[in-house]
Amino acid sequence: MSMTPEQAAWFAGTFEKLVANVGQAVLGKSHVISLTLSAMLAEGHVLFEDAPGTGKTMLARALSATVKGTHSRIQFTPDLLPSDVTGVTIYDQKTQIFEFHKGPIFATIVLADEINRASPKTQSALLEVMEESRVTVDGTTYETGRPFMVLATQNPIEQAGTYRLPEAQLDRFLIKTSIGYPDHASTVQLLSGSSQRDRTSTLQAIITPAAIAEMADLAATTHTDAAVLEYVSRLCEETRNAPETRLGVSVRGAIAMVRMAKVWAAAKGRNYVLPDDVKELAPYVWTHRFVMDPEAEFAGSTPEVVLSRVLAEVAAPQQRATA
């Protein structure tokens, strides 16, 4: 059953309240907040490629406080072990049984800070839990619950001592974006309140985790016309056929776009997806999934350039895709 216009209006109103609440802690970044919240409602994960000190931890805490959830932070280092992320089974001598002690991955919002500094083995510990929202330790499966989102960060400048994220792991992030530095007015406002170390401490919860899960289920019912689905498929095919790319957008990437576009449309009060939603989200959902040809990359080509050309060349459907 598709979302009704009334449900879409309620969804947009609630979404706006959530963004405004997080915006009290993360000043002047409503667009990034909207993208991150949309990723949560699409039940995906976010990769922030950003400089230190731009508010990524604050964003994670503010989101957690807003949805009345839990928050954990994992500082990825070269000596971090997979069990430090997922948890470990320990033998209790008093009870004479093995007990599983959950790791920091079991939280509503998990901030994986500088993920590319950990070894590939530790990075791979995130793969199952990011894709399936569950962890298997010693043959036993543990669910993370809903909502669950990983916010991973990596520094685009300082790459010494880092391990490049493999394509399989990059493909598991629904979107990649950056917060960036605040504008002048927001910076002045931040400085005036510099005595308050944690701006999230005064935030009030707007919604419960169970209600967020219901919103995610509702967003999934947003109508997506067959013409829009064909448009997404053609765009993905063109990225694979582009001479500058060795790998274009995968099928997982196409599915990610549809999931994200449904939430994005509902957040704007529509119960249907438009081609413009796809165009607006494409840089965030798709560019990190490209594997560029080395020669083309050396010549100065980037995923953003290839995507812009593909979006310009592939004609979008003209009809208004209503439910």
Which amino acid is located at 157 in the chain? Answer: I
| Residue appearing with tokens 């196409």 | 254
How does strand 46-49 pair with strand 245-247?
Answer: unpaired
Judge whether 115 and 76 are in contact, CB under 8 Å.
Answer: yes
CATH of domain 1-195: 3.40.50.300
Quick count: other Cβ atoms within 10 Å of Cβ 241? 10
13-to-105, 269, 285 alpha-carbon distances in Å = 31, 8, 24
For residue 126, give every residue at least 6 positions away whose Cβ sits within 8 Å of its Cβ, in sequence order, or none.
85, 105, 112, 115, 150, 169, 172
- Report d(CA 213, CA 291) in Å as an integer: 33
DSSP annotation string for 75-95: E--TT--HHHHHEEEEEETTT
**What pLDDT sits at residue 31?**
95
- Report d(CA 285, CA 189) in Å as an integer: 31
What residues does CATH 1.10.8.80 cover in the chain? 222-317
Tens place of pLDDT per residue across the chain (323 aa): 789 999 999 999 999 999 999 999 898 899 999 999 999 999 999 999 887 888 888 999 999 999 999 999 999 988 999 899 999 888 888 888 888 889 999 999 999 998 888 888 888 888 778 888 888 888 888 899 889 999 999 877 666 556 777 777 788 899 999 998 888 888 898 888 776 777 787 888 999 999 999 999 999 999 999 999 999 999 999 999 999 999 899 999 999 999 999 999 999 999 999 999 999 999 999 999 998 899 988 988 999 999 999 999 999 998 554 55
**Four-residue CA torsion sign, 19, 165, 43, 151:** negative
CATH of domain 222-317: 1.10.8.80
**What pLDDT sits at residue 4?**
93
Coil/strand/helix, residue 152: strand
Residues in the chain: 323
**What pLDDT sits at residue 64?**
94
Judge whether 97 and 59 are in contact, CB under 8 Å.
Answer: no
Model-level pTM?
0.90
- Report d(CA 207, CA 116) in Å as an integer: 33
Judge whether 277 and 265 are in contact, CB under 8 Å.
Answer: yes
What residues does CATH 3.40.50.300 cover in the chain? 1-195
**What pLDDT sits at residue 309?**
95
- Report d(CA 157, CA 134) in Å as an integer: 33
